[in-house]
Structure 1
Amino acid sequence: MEDGRQSAFLALDNAKTQLYHFKAIVIAGMGFFTDAYDLFCITAVTKLIGRLYYYDPSKHAAGASPTQGALPTNVNNAITGVALCGTLAGQLFFGWLGDKLGRKKVYGITLITMVGCALASGLSFGSTAHSVIASLCFFRFWLGFGIGGDYPLSAVIMSEYANQKTRGGFIAAVFAMQGMGIMVAGAVAMIVSKLFWVAFPAPAFRDDHVLSVQPQGDFVWRIVLMFGAVPAALTYYWRMKMPETARYTALVLGNHKKAAADMAKVLDQDISIDTTTSWVSVTPVNSSYGLFSKEFMRRHGLHLLGTTTTWFLLDIAFYSLQLTQKDVYPVSGIVRKASAMNAIEEVYRISKAMFIVALFATVPGYWFTVFLIDKLGRFIIQLGGFLLMSICMAILGFQYENFRGEKCTDPKATKEYCEGNPTWFMVLYGLTLFFANFGPNSTTFIVPAELFPARFRSTCHGISAAAGKAGAIIGAFVVQSYTQKGEKIKRAIVALSVVNLIGFFFTFLVPETKGRSLEEISGKDRELGGGGRGIEIAATKNEKILETEMA
């Protein structure tokens, strides 16, 4: 095949943007909305869980104001990180399964898993603190397992549905729903905690101290976690109505007639086919190389190395920033210290800060990518994002004492210097998240869905995403341990700046995919079965029919 325009996928690559594209964005995007909500809502309620289950008033002197309970470091890390472990496993398993069974067949399984485990997380049971936490961690692991399946499937489905000109924007729009999920997680936690705070005010103690925990707080974290089941359940029906992608049906299953029928559904137009000609009857010739074979590594080894390393490095920084907000905001002065608030008020103030940062920094970053990625390209956005993240975090780290006002013991320090500057801290923190999302957090999701052959596409995306979650696990279990100790936050931020800079250099392993068809990017002549014979339009008559009907 000399020209990709002679492919049966000419219609998909050159189709005008239409209603079905937006429907696919919403259906796939709601999965990512749920993913982000479920992964990050735990940040808003982790401190509440500690004050509920690890508060022991018997340890305090009679008449003294109770102090707040705190989760042990290992328990805190487990609660926030166990879902990421499940996500990593789910990305590998469902990514592989998506290439074996098809995108559609697996798509519903992930959603059912997410709905059931989100509800079960909120219903975590036990007669002791340890049993409740163990139950919560168990269900959040399997919640993460379902979330993991959504990554490769949603990305690949959207890339195989999208047209060539706006494919990057469509995939980015699906991923942008992650930002909406993060924002709504903060909003839901803020609303629920505010309602309970007003309905069940804490009794006052002497010296204006307040009771550490209201028993009603147990409902707050459960409601917040269970809400994640709602958006996933609402989209299940529409996921089941989506047809299998035409590229999978033709290139992997070899059923060209069904592929054409599925394309007709997607494009909302009839496609005429002469079933006596060769392109609908010839079975694709299987490629001679398999996943991780020498030939695969020769053609795609550097690509896979590039997508896995950049996603791994990005997620160390991105998830560290997201999961440690509950620790970073209080010590930086953005949120009041726990000793000045009751447990439910603390949830409200942390989630309010999360919401504001998401609204003004996180969400805009995603949508800048949506609108500019097919103009600027994936490479420039990823390269610039890593560099600017590194610069922002370097300033944030090296100026940390000034922002926080840690040098108050210095007799020469001015009042302003002593108080710190939480506003600038918030600005730089927000800019880091903005350039993460208008940068590598979006592009590392998009590019693996475009680079690899159809029969490996879901698997390779799953491997790349799993490498990212390995980085996120480092953020949850290693970096988070530092941020719970105020004096080590500076060290953690500076280290993350270096991680971003390393990601900048590894980006040079990833090629630009803007403006090219999926078959061209992955080596269409080989993917389509030796010179394109698998689905090539062999007859001149068929070429004219297809070019007319699919235009």
Structure 2
Amino acid sequence: MLLERLEKLPVGSFHYKLLAVTGLGWLFDAMDTGLISFVLPILAKEWGLAPEQMGWIGSVGFIGMALGAVISGTIADRIGRKLVFSLTVILYSLATGACALSWNYESLLLFRFLVGFGLGGELPVAATLMTEYAPTKLRGRFIVLLESFWGLGWLAAACIAYLLIPQYGWQIAFFIGALPAVYVFMIRVHMPESVRYLISKNRIGEAQEIVLMLEKKLHVASEPFDKELSDVE
């Protein structure tokens, strides 16, 4: 009954707000991936980096992403999608800002790995949240819209590289990349926890409250749930 009522919710402002919140996460991720591509040639010249060093700076983030995706998915099943999403965005933001303060090649490698770990952890969790709340018949459309934010992130990276880096140096790109830490407050306000996660943890009352809140917000005729905790189908 609980999941059935969730699935029957019409598409409304909540779904588009959730799309915007999760989509911004994808946008910031793509922006960071793009920024390092624009920054690397400048760093190579300024620090006298060898080709293999440039390759490691570019690839160590992807190693972090692979590990982050695997580990964060497991953790999200234990402590919740919303919390892991927030924590990975904070990690990504702080590590990106730290890149601007890098004092040598080794420190930049470490920070880029942490950035990648945060990025890899955030992407699948965001997609999971969008999937779990989007109505079944429109789920594919919402996932496509979510993925379109990746292209916007690359566009933002190109604008930063063209307009700001020549004026303020490569560090400004990473300082801007730290801004998503502020975005976590938006996550806390506008993103509910996954109903399916709450059910899996037997937190049925919290799941019911979310469904009732969504029904009210989407102007759906609502009625109280039975007190039987087993009524979650």
TM superposition score normalised by structure 2: 0.91
Contact kept? 1:13, 1:165, Cα under 8 Å: no
CA deviation profile, 1:265-319 (whole Å, cap 9, x unmatched): 234157423434xxx322xxxxxxxxxxxxxxxxxxxxxxxxxxxxxxxxxxxxx
Aligned to 1:516: none
Structure 2: distance between partners of 1:191 and 1:147: 25
Aligned length: 229
For residue 220 of structure 1, report the CA deviation from its aligned partner.
Answer: 1.5
Structure 1 residues 274 and 92: alpha-carbon distance in aligned structure 2, compared to 1, 3 A threshold: closer
Return the alpha-carbon distance in structure 1 between the equivalents of residues 40 and 171 of structure 2: 11
Instruction: Please say if residues 261 and 271 of structure 1, whose CA atoms lie closer than 8 Å, have aligned partners that are also in contact.
Output: no
Mapped partners of 1:226, 1:89: distance in 2: 24
Offset of 1:253 from its aligned partner?
1.2
Q: Which residue of 2 aligns with 1:225?
A: 174
Question: What SS does the aligned partner of 2:170 have?
Answer: helix
1:82-121 C-alpha deviation (Å, 9 max, x unpaired): 1111111111111100111111121211111011111100
Cα shift at 1:136: 0.9
Out of 230, 235, 239, which is 2:187 matched to? 239
Verify: 1:191 aligned to 2:148, yes or no.
no
CA distance 1:9–1:274, change in 2 (3 Å): closer
Percent of paired sites with the same residue: 28
Q: 1:256 and 1:273 mapped to 2: Cα distance? A: 13
Distance 1:266 1:172, change over 3 A: farther
Determine the C-alpha separation between the residues in 2 that align with 1:91 and 1:114.
13
CA contact under 8 A between 1:90 and 1:149: conserved in structure 2? yes
Instruction: Tell me the C-alpha RMSD between the 2 structures.
Output: 1.7
CA deviation vs aligned residue, 1:349-372 (integer Å, no higher than 9, x gap) = xxxxxxxxxxxxxxxxxxxxxxxx
Cα 1:105–1:16 shift into 2, 3 Å = same
Query: Match for 2:111 among 125, 135, 139?
Result: 139
Between 146-155 and 265-274, the greater mean CA deviation after superposition? 265-274
- In the alignment, is the contact (CA less than 8 A) between 1:13 and 1:164 conserved in 2? yes
Counterpart residue type for residue 178 of structure 2? A
Secondary structure of the residue that 2:169 maps to in structure 1? helix
Task: Name the SS for the 1:185 alignment partner.
Answer: helix
1:19 alignment counterpart: 13
Distance 1:259 1:113 in 2: 28
Q: Which has the higher contact order (CA 8 A, sep 6+)?
A: 2
Q: If you compute each CA radius of gyration, which structure gives the higher value, 1 or 2?
A: 1
Contact 1:87 1:148 (C-alpha < 8 Å) held by counterparts: yes
Matches within 5 A, 1:345-356: none
In structure 1, the partner of 2:47 is 53
- In structure 1, C-alpha distance between the alignment counterparts of 2:136 and 2:53, rounded to whole Å: 47
Give the Cα separation in 2 of the matches to 1:117 and 1:266. 35
User: 1:221 & 1:20 partners in 2: Cα distance?
Assistant: 38
Residue 79 and residue 274 in structure 1: after superposition, are their counterparts in 2 closer, same or farther (change >3 A)? closer
Of 103, 106, 126, the residue aligned with 2:81 is 103
Q: Please show how residues 33-432 of structure 1 align to structure 2 within 5 Å.
A: 33-54=27-48, 71-125=49-103, 132-194=104-166, 196=167, 219-230=168-179, 232-241=180-189, 242-250=191-199, 252-267=200-215, 268=217, 271-276=222-227, 280-282=228-230
Structure 2 segments unaligned to the other structure (5+ residues): none
> Does structure 1 conserve the Cα–Cα contact (< 8 Å) formed by 2:208 and 2:225?
no
User: Gapped runs of 5+ residues in structure 1?
Assistant: 1-6, 55-70, 126-131, 197-218, 283-533, 537-551
Give the distance between the partners of 2:68 and 2:225, measured in 1 at CA: 42
Contact 2:165 2:172 in 1 (8 A): no
Whole-Å Cα distance in 1 between the matches of residues 108 and 225 of structure 2?
57
